[in-house]
Amino acid sequence: MTRSWSYSRPDADASHHPPPQGMLPLFLNDLVNHQDFVELTLELDNDSLMLRSIAPAPAPAPAAPPPPDPLPDDSLLSITARIRNKFPWLRSASSRASTASSLDRDDTAAVPMSARDARRLNAQLQRTRSTAQAALRGLRFISNTTGASDANELWRRVHSRFHSLAQGGLLARDDFAECIGMTDSKEFALTIFDALARRKGLRISKINVEELHEFWLNISDQSFDARLQIFFDMADSNEDGRITRDEVQELIMLSASANNLARLKERAEEYASLIMEELDPENLGYIELWQLETLLLQRDTYMNYSRPLSTATSVGWSQNLSSFNPKTIIKTATTTLHSVILQNWQRIWILFLWGSTMAALFIWKFLQYKNRAAFNIMGYCLPTAKGAAETLKFNMALILLPVCRNTLTWLRSTAARSVVPFDDNINFHKLIACFIAVGIVVHGGVHLACDFPRLASSSPEEFEVISSDFHNKKPSYKELLMSVEGVTGIVMVVLMGISFTLATHRFRRNVVKLPWLLNRLAGFNAFWYSHHLMGIVYLLLLVHGTFLFLAHSWTQKTTWVYIVFPLLLYLGERSLRACRSEYYSVEILKVSVLPGNVFSLVMLKPRGFKYRSGQYIFLQCPSISQFEWHPFSITSAPGDEYLSVHIRTVGDWTRELKRVFTDHVNSKPVLARAKLGHLVNMERKSQPRLLLDGPYGAPAQDYQNYDVLLLVGLGIGATPFVSILKDLLNNSRTIEEQTPTESTTETSRSEDSFGSLNTTPSGKRKLQSRTGTGQAQAYFYWVTREAGSLEWFKGVMDEVAEMDRKGQIELHNYLTSVYEESDARSTLITMVQALNHAKHGVDILSGTRARTHFARPDWKEVFGRIASKHAYKTVGVFYCGMPMLAKELKRLSLEFTRKTATRFEFHKEYF
């Protein structure tokens, strides 16, 4: 709330100016005796009152006197000082410390106010509780909690660590970081220690528990001024109340070291000069506390200077709540069930169809053998074993279909994609394998433990009924095991046991730590080669199904009926893969070695090779292995004249691939980045063969089915989305070239991205939809751990920012190795980032126009913001990365689909 008061001299005309009421006007009566009117603007915020401005009031209208002379600068300064002295609660601690000498002057000894003093006064007048609270969130040393119980608990932990670290009742300076919980930022903690020690006028290397408690109270203080003073004292090593450029540089280097930002540390001098240039325009060579406070308070203003806030970002997602508000447990459960069914109906009907088929086959075979004469000898053991065998034959045939990649890729382009969840093909493959294992246990276990013993121990009279099925000779238990059916069954179980075991996550990912000689039996290679044992299993299965004890007619031996078609389809796919890989022997155009153990290969696109963004290919290097194929997402766009992949060296094969190509291409790797649509030519010597197979379908290729996209990449998982971003921009550029621009578009960018909104003639902003324009709105969130990773797609992000004039794509980079923006260890980095972006439009960490955030995203806020901007739309959520984040994104997709008018459809892909 903002209000204005005017006051007049006692001799003013009462008819025109009624006497003011209240304490403040009476007090102001004594301040100015040479001006008829002064207008004060005060801001009321709950129990706070902040002076915003003092200005001459206009003269009374009836008399129409000439406008009075402006209030002199010295009078303004004097008035402000006396107001603050009269009402101490109007003053902040920082303003009291930094401006007391200038504001306490008597108005009779007025001197002209300099530009520096004017800026200082303006900073004090502009400071409000809201801005201080915002800055407080960005300057946290230990905890941002204010509860007494939380503070007491934290101190108990510190006190406990003191007793374990102290010697002779004294804590050494070197142990201070560990004691207060800053083990990973020891240098930063030691600087805090020294700053607090200087306050006491001490140069000490050890403290007792009372001094530690005093230090702790300082760094855990919840007031902005207290935290600001500590931060200032950390840089002000000579205690003169001023910070020089060298001291700013030291503080930047300290923050860079705490966050492991070597690049920022190398450019600390440049960024220190940037801060001094902004805060010290008079070139005095130093800044004071109030200037540092100004920078903290105005951080968002600096950031938004070059990128105005989009009005849509301020809309709460609660405004997009669905009209249905469940109030009972039953209604809540019904709503949740409806949401789950809506998200998983494709999986549900497929699983229902599969389960029903297995149940029908089991019952059919069970009833068939229950009516056989052998049932009188072997009882329910026989129909149970035969029923399990029937489901085994069905599943052994079905398990091949989810790995027929060419077939699935073709089906993705048909109407079948709307009813079949092709994204879950590998999960379905694993689920079938689990039921095969169950079927083996039931079928083989019942044979070995039940019907074989009962058959071998049957009486001659009982056996006489089925003697013709065994050539009129009752077999012994050993003979049953050594028969063709018994031997093939046992061998199949052994081979499948090896294949299934080495395919489990712990063995495939080499999580299991085996002795050195056995360690080669784990890992991806072991999984890959052991899976080829299944070829022998299928041959044995055909033999096993031919030599049956109780079936003699070929119509009763149905194993081949199940197996032949899927097996031929799979063999045909493998043959196509082999032939195509020989045809797609690619030529390497460029090799780029990037930070973070990543390198990229730019290849000449084979003739006739067509793909969609989001798809992947398999690569094989015969000089490394004649059998190993490894999948990689395509990072080039379908319209590019080249084909590119980004590969992270995380295993033996990828490390060897990097060595092979960096040794053979130009003798040295090319340290460059591929850009959109540009091909870098280079001289090439003889290079190793690289075979290509694909493309193959992936969840990300379905992005074209949505008008709104939320793309989330974790680390190297960003690769499939890079191709999508390129494709979106290429399509947008094509549309612009084909369609002349007939109307202007107002573009506004969000706080941390490049968002776009169209302005309708009525003044209301409306999001541009893909419908009718061929364009989709995309939000790309890239979460990575290492700062060097931002170099991987720097060229792409630069061109996205340059080409995306309509704000079709929002880029969000998150660096998890840097402390969150509310931590004091990243405060100065955040300020430098804001200044540099406001001046140059470039992020200091990524080197692009896309701002880099610190720590991890608040995914609930991300979903809420998208839901508020795209009500009644369906948002395609695509994730590629480790499984840990997929669960949270899927949960939020279900939650916001249920609670808002926006529908989120989640798709995942693991690497």
Residue 56's pLDDT is 58
CA 96 to chain centre: 43
In a domain, 548, yes or no: yes
**Domain shared by 556 and 604, yes or no:** no
> Where among 186, 220, 254 does a domain terminate?
220
In a domain, 313, yes or no: no
Amino acid at 724: I
Read off the pTM. Answer: 0.69
**Domain shared by 725 and 805, yes or no:** yes
Q: What are residue 485's phi and psi, to 5 degrees?
A: -65, -40
Residue 804's pLDDT is 65
**Domain shared by 593 and 446, yes or no:** no
Length of the chain as a residue count: 911
In a domain, 762, yes or no: no
Residue 718's pLDDT is 87
**Domain shared by 496 and 461, yes or no:** yes
CA distance 826 to 834: 12
CA distance 331 to 765: 36
Tokens encoding 514: 């085996």
Residue 910's pLDDT is 74
**Domain shared by 591 and 639, yes or no:** yes
CA distance 565 to 542: 13
Residue 393's pLDDT is 93
> Where among 220, 251, 272 does a domain terminate?
220
CATH number of the domain bearing residue 661: 2.40.30.10
> Where among 551, 573, 595 does a domain terminate?
573
Number of domains in the chain: 4
**Domain shared by 499 and 586, yes or no:** no
CA distance 108 to 563: 105
CA distance 766 to 759: 6
Residue 549 is given by DSSP the state: S
Left (φ > 0), alpha (ψ -120 to 50) or beta: where does 169 sit? left
Q: What are the average pLDDT values for consecutive 10-residue runs of the chain, which has 911 residues? A: 43 41 41 50 53 56 46 44 44 41 43 69 63 55 52 84 89 90 85 87 85 87 79 85 88 86 85 87 85 74 49 43 56 73 85 95 92 86 92 94 89 85 88 94 91 87 83 86 90 92 80 65 76 91 86 79 91 84 80 85 87 89 84 88 88 86 56 41 63 85 87 88 84 62 36 34 36 65 84 77 72 84 79 82 80 85 90 90 87 87 86 66
CATH number of the domain bearing residue 169: 1.10.238.10
Q: What are residue 641's phi and psi, to 5 degrees?
A: -85, 0
Strands 809-815 and 852-854 come out as parallel
In a domain, 467, yes or no: yes
In a domain, 89, yes or no: no
SS3 content of the chain, % helix, strand, coil (to 5): 55, 15, 35
In a domain, 410, yes or no: yes
Residues in a beta bridge with 244: 286
**Domain shared by 499 and 587, yes or no:** no
**Domain shared by 438 and 586, yes or no:** no
Tokens encoding 317: 């997602």
**Domain shared by 486 and 511, yes or no:** yes
**Domain shared by 480 and 388, yes or no:** yes
CA distance 696 to 572: 16
Residue 57's pLDDT is 55
Q: What range does the domain containing 616 cover?
A: 577-665+687-697
In a domain, 123, yes or no: no
In a domain, 582, yes or no: yes
CA distance 181 to 157: 9
**Domain shared by 436 and 400, yes or no:** yes
Q: Which residues contact 162 (CB under 8 A, 6 or more apart)?
A: 171, 179, 209, 212
**Domain shared by 501 and 390, yes or no:** yes
Crossing angle for the helix pair 115-126 and 289-297, nearest 10 degrees? 50
CATH number of the domain bearing residue 890: 3.40.50.80
Q: What angle do CA 525, 527, 528 make, to 5 degrees?
A: 65
Residue 313's pLDDT is 39
